[in-house]
Amino acid sequence: MEIDLRERWLIDSVEVPTRLVLAPMAGVSVQAFRRQGRRFGAGLVCSEMVSCAGIEHRNEKTLGYLRVASDEHPLAIQIFGSNPETMAEAGRMVEAAGADIVDINFGCPVRKVTKTGAGATLLEDPALACRIVSSVAEAVGVPVSVKMRRGLRNGSRDCLDVGPRLVEAGASVLTLHPRSAQQMYTGSADHALTAELVSLVDVPVIASGDITSRARAQAVLATTGAAAVMVGRGAQGNPWALREIVDGDAAEPSREEVVAELVLFIRETVRELGERRASGFLKKFYGWYLGRGRFPRPFKQELVVLDSTEEVERRLIAAAPGALPLLEQLEAELPTGDEITLALPISAFGGG
């Protein structure tokens, strides 16, 4: 039987309109990515992980991650750190910034984060992990979620011990990426563990890992009992994958559609990060959008050496002039609602 991914579900009182969640990805999940994800069917979008120390020290770049646009909701902002009090303070600021959910990262396998005692390392210190969750949950009025790996080492089943304790400590939803931290992104996500976790807790579980098609999403939902699937790498440069997963619409985008979405993404990212940061940040997206046999390979090489995003735009539109009316239509349809920001000069982030 087909599962309806357009079914609404609840995280406490937060209504999530579809059973697809767009994954938090450092260096990827900018506001433009999240807003695009919502347009293509994601019911919940997440910021990349934000350092609670950066929030505490009011680091300008960190605070830039806390900008929330009116058409992103529901949105989870993810924080990481290992000190319960600092995490609680970060949770309060994230809530004040407009997040509907505060997500806590117990999954990051990267050494820069784990060596500070944060991320996936906390799966081996369940008492501290629970203190972090309960301090954040007490500090905020919105639901708290936790995203975790299966454990630190290959074959670990720590998530099944820690998960239920985190729920007791106050987590309203758990996301499981069932690879070990040691695995990084190698091998495959073992969703048999997701099914076990679902059977152990009475809160919704989100299944993350290797979901790239509707068939895979259906299979994981059916075999695990998860409330939703999360999509990460499959959505990089490919928002059409989200539409395929949610609606079964498998139509490949035309070149014009690809260029229109990419140019919109470039413009939005430049508005968010400023030209200097955006032009470096965007380079990886060119390959992601233009690959998959959509454009000849040398075209991407041409784009990455150009000096400004304006030149990239010109080159893209020259390659598919029919993209212009599509782009105008997309821009006309974008909501222009107020952004909720902390009391910070917008100019710090390169313009509003």
Binding site for ligand FMN (CB under 6 A): 23-28, 48-49, 78, 105, 107-108, 147, 177, 208-211, 231-234
Least distance CB 248 / ligand FMN (angstroms): 19
Of 2, 158, 143, 172, the C-alpha closest to 77 is: 143
Shortest approach of ligand FMN to residue 210 CB, angstroms? 5
CB of 216 to ligand FMN, least distance (A): 10
Enclosing H/E stretch for 169:
helix 158-169
Nearest-approach distance from CB 188 to ligand FMN, in angstroms: 9
Task: Find out whether 132 and 84 touch, Cβ atoms under 8 Å.
Answer: yes
| Contacts for 182 with CB less than 8 Å, ≥ 6 apart | 109, 152, 153, 154
- Of the pair 67, 323, the CB lying nearest ligand FMN is at 67
Q: Which is nearer to ligand FMN, 69 or 148 (CB)?
A: 148
User: How far is it, in rounded angstroms, from Cα 279 to Cα 348?
Assistant: 17
How far is 300 from 288, CA to CA, in rounded Å?
Answer: 9
* DSSP β-bridge partners for residue 340: 68
Q: What are the phi and psi torsion angles at 65 (to 5°)?
A: -70, -15
**In whole angstroms, how far apart are CA 306 and each of 114, 154, 276, 314?**
36, 43, 13, 11
- By beta-carbon proximity to ligand FMN, the closer residue of 106 and 349 is 106
Print burial letters for 197-208: b (CB count within 10 Å at least 16), e (below 16).
Answer: bbeebebbbbbb
Residue 44 or 326: the one with the smaller Cβ distance to ligand FMN is 44
Element (H, E) at 229: strand 228-231
The residue number whose beta carbon is nearest to ligand FMN equals 232
Instruction: Give the shortest CB-118-to-ligand FMN separation in angstroms.
Output: 11
CB nearer to ligand FMN: give 28 or 102: 28
User: DSSP code of 340?
Assistant: B
Q: How far is Cα 268 from Cα 37, in angstroms, rounded to an integer?
A: 13
Question: Known catalytic residue: 108?
Answer: yes
Q: Which is nearer to ligand FMN, 98 or 209 (CB)?
A: 209
Cβ atoms 170, 119 nearer than 8 A: no
Q: DSSP string of 100-132?
A: SEEEEEE----HHHHTTT-GGGGGG-HHHHHHH
Residue of 52, 108, 130, 159 with catalytic role: 108
Token output for 231: 């999509």
Complex with ligand FMN: residue 156 or 259, whichever CB lies closer: 156
Inter-residue contact 177 to 119 (CB < 8 Å): no
Q: Minimum Å distance from CB 67 to ligand FMN?
A: 17
Provide, rounded to whole angstroms, the least separation between the CB of residue 176 and ligand FMN: 9
Catalytic machinery residues: 108
